[in-house]
Amino acid sequence: MELRVLRYFLMVVNERNISRAAERLHVSQPTISRQLKDLEDELGVTLFERGSRSIELTAAGEYFANQARQIVLLADKAVANVNQTQEVTGQIMIGSAEAPMMVTIGQAVSQLGQTAPKVQVGIYSTDANEVKQRLHAGVFDFGVVMEPTNKDDSDFLKLPGTSAWGVLVREDSPLAQKAAVTAADLADQRIIMSQQHGSISYLTDWLGTSDLQLNVVATYNLLYNASILVETGVGIALCLDGIINTADSTLRFVPLTPRLEAKASLIWPKNTPQSPAASAFLAALRALLPSDY
């Protein structure tokens, strides 16, 4: 299986039409069709349902497309990092859960722009579960995860700062008038909860009892869409402060009491050689951290 064939396949996936894909790739339509047929024969599955005007992916095709994207991304990143002169060039990819502590990562990227201006940095926002999966698949160079999280298979640096847990509510909610929210205040609320296992166990410990069963009506992995659910009256979102800007909006953030804080860490795989670009980023970050980090 060649990378060239994977690129043909992904272009057809994007265009949903072999003719348009052939035009974009500057190859003939029969060439694309033949390569796709050979790919299906090699895999032993049908990747596309072919219609008169467009083609759709089968279930096997959807899975293979996701894997092919990661393979091509990883190959492109490896080539960019190998093909470099004495000047540090290349690409790094950082997967990040939503965290206000990302400001330190931003400062490091800014500093990297001064010391290694030809390094390209990609930020991919997702939850901690996918961060770890893609990190150890080699797609991400680094990941930003919220604590607590298991870091036994990772090297890490703690990021400065903390963020308070609380609830995101509409301004017309009775909770919006409170200075802080207790566990008892949550008992009769419709809750929109983070999907991250570490966050769930962390909040469960804060509740202090297994007797209190929250009414969880929806879950989220990124808070922006959850904030829309809050705005539309689905429920209130348990979340971290500093992610959604509530200024000039109909939303309010109310902290939990007793106060519950979260920290974040930058992680990367143990015993894995780093590219010069990744090493340059890590050096830029270390230079920003206090001496006791």
B/e letters for 151-164, b = 16+ CB within 10 Å, e = fewer, are eeebbbeebebbbb
Q: What is the pTM of this model?
A: 0.67
Q: What is the pLDDT of residue 284?
A: 93
- Tokens at 20, concatenated: 């348009």
Integer distance in angstroms from the first to the last C-alpha of the chain? 45
Selection from 133, 267, 261 nearest residue 202 by Cα: 261
3-state secondary structure of 264: strand
Q: What is the pLDDT of residue 77?
A: 75
pLDDT tops 90 at residue 285: yes
pLDDT tops 80 at residue 291: no
Average pLDDT over residues 252-276: 92
Crossing angle of helices 3-15/29-43, nearest 10°?
Answer: 110
DSSP string of 81-145, one letter each residue: HHS--SS-EEEEEEEE-S-TTHHHHHHHHHHHHHH-TEEEEEEEE--HHHHHHHHHTTS-SEEEE
Crossing angle of helices 29-43/18-25, nearest 10°?
Answer: 110
Amino acid at 92: I
Predicted confidence (pLDDT) per residue in 176-215, tens digit: 999 999 999 998 999 999 887 667 777 878 887 666 688 9
Q: How far is CA 218 from the centre of its chain?
A: 19
Which residues are CB-neighbours of 87 under 8 A, at least 6 positions away?
116, 118
Predicted confidence (pLDDT) per residue in 89-117, tens digit: 899 999 998 889 999 999 999 999 998 99
pLDDT tops 80 at residue 266: yes
Predicted confidence (pLDDT) per residue in 111-148, tens digit: 999 989 999 999 998 887 888 889 988 899 999 998 87
Q: What is the pLDDT of residue 117?
A: 92
Q: What is the pLDDT of residue 130?
A: 85
Element (H, E) at 237: strand 236-240
* 37 strand-pairing partners: none
Average pLDDT, the chain: 88
Phi and psi torsions of 24, nearest 5°:
-65, -35
pLDDT tops 90 at residue 228: yes
Delineate the domains of the chain, giving CATH numbers in brackets: 3-78 (1.10.10.10), 89-161+263-288 (3.40.190.10), 163-261 (3.40.190.10)
Integer Cα distance of 162 and 241 in angstroms: 10
Structural contact between residues 180 and 156, judged by C-beta atoms closer than 8 angstroms? no
Structural contact between residues 134 and 201, judged by C-beta atoms closer than 8 angstroms? no
- Tokens at 30, concatenated: 């029969």
Average pLDDT over residues 31-41: 88
Average pLDDT over residues 9-27: 86
Q: How far is CA 154 from the centre of its chain?
A: 17
Model confidence at 175, pLDDT cuts 50, 70, 90, reads very high
Kindly list the distances between the CA atom of residue 184 and the CA atoms of 170, 172, 181, 258, 261, in Å, as whole numbers in the listed order. 19, 19, 8, 12, 19
Q: What is the pLDDT of residue 230?
A: 98
Other Cβ atoms less than 10 A from the Cβ of 289: the count is: 15
Integer Cα distance of 141 and 237 in angstroms: 31
pLDDT tops 90 at residue 56: no
Model confidence at 81, pLDDT cuts 50, 70, 90, reads low
Average pLDDT over residues 53-74: 86
pLDDT tops 60 at residue 287: yes
